[in-house]
Chain A
Amino acid sequence: GAGVSQSPSNKVTEKGKDVELRCDPISGHTALYWYRQSLGQGLEFLIYFQGNSAPDKSGLPSDRFSAERTGGSVSTLTIQRTQQEDSAVYLCASSTSGGAWYETQYFGPGTRLLVL
């Protein structure tokens, strides 16, 4: 079956513009995660969805960042008024339910965002 897909694969934008990043999780997976990976760095947890709700949004770096998930499937990460420090690879992952210790997170290929 299809894995996690993300779009666009690459995005170049100008400072101050808004961007939307999309994640399509594996069909049937109720848990969805967003991470950010800056060049040469590890993965920074941003937000986690259980169904359509996000129990904890504290990982979002600022109020310019928001995320939503509708229909328990597709999720959109929105960055408003982008800054150069937002440049990074944004990774999405999904897992079956998010509550079981044995669950594996399956990652998408990421969206590479460059803010000029």
Chain B
Amino acid sequence: LAKTTQPISMDSYEGQEVNITCSHNNIATNDYITWYQQFPSQGPRFIIQGYKTKVTNEVASLFIPADRKSSTLSLPRVSLSDTAVYYCLVRNTNAGKSTFGDGTTLTVKP
């Protein structure tokens, strides 16, 4: 399984763009990358996912370089309600196994 590494914590201010990078150096060909958000006492919630290059949806963008050894979640113009733990997940589509990182605690300040 690909091991993932994320920063333990990040601070930001309302209105700023936040970029959280996840390292997955031994990612395999069949692995794809998903990011989840988790609030206290809740299960993780899907944010965005991709295999390579750039993916954008209504809440975030995901940048994956050509070597796929890392991925960066970009949250535009964060608000206080974006304070949460963000997890990078590498998943092998053939096996169903999922390796979550330890998560990045994002704190958005007024």
**Shortest distance from the beta carbon of A101 to any chain B beta carbon, whole Å:** 5
Q: Is the CB of B46 within 8 A of A105?
A: yes
Asked if B81 CB lies within 8 Å of chain A CBs, one says no
Q: Is the CB of B96 within 8 A of A31?
A: yes
Q: Is the CB of B43 within 8 A of A110?
A: yes
Q: Is the CB of A98 within 8 A of B96?
A: yes
Residues in A whose Cβ lies below 8 Å from that of B36: 107
Number of interface residues of A (CB under 8 A): 28
Q: Is the CB of B43 within 8 A of A101?
A: no
Task: Give the contact-size bracket for chain B.
Answer: 20 to 34
Q: Is the CB of B100 within 8 A of A45?
A: yes
Residues in A whose Cβ lies below 8 Å from that of B109: none
A80-116, CB < 8 A from B: 91, 93, 98-102, 104-110
Asked if A42 CB lies within 8 Å of chain B CBs, one says yes
**Shortest distance from the beta carbon of B47 to any chain A beta carbon, whole Å:** 10
Q: Type the 1/0 row for B68-102, where 1 means its CB is closer than 8 Å to any CB of A.
A: 00000000000000000001000001111111111
Q: Is the CB of B49 within 8 A of A102?
A: yes
15 contacts between A and B (CB under 8 A): A35-B98, A42-B87, A42-B102, A44-B100, A45-B100, A48-B98, A56-B95, A91-B43, A100-B93, A105-B44, A105-B98, A106-B46, A107-B43, A107-B45, A109-B42
B interface with A by C-beta (< 8 Å): 32, 34, 36, 41-46, 49, 51, 87, 93-103
A interface with B by C-beta (< 8 Å): 4, 31, 33, 35, 41-45, 48, 50, 55-56, 59, 91, 93, 98-102, 104-110
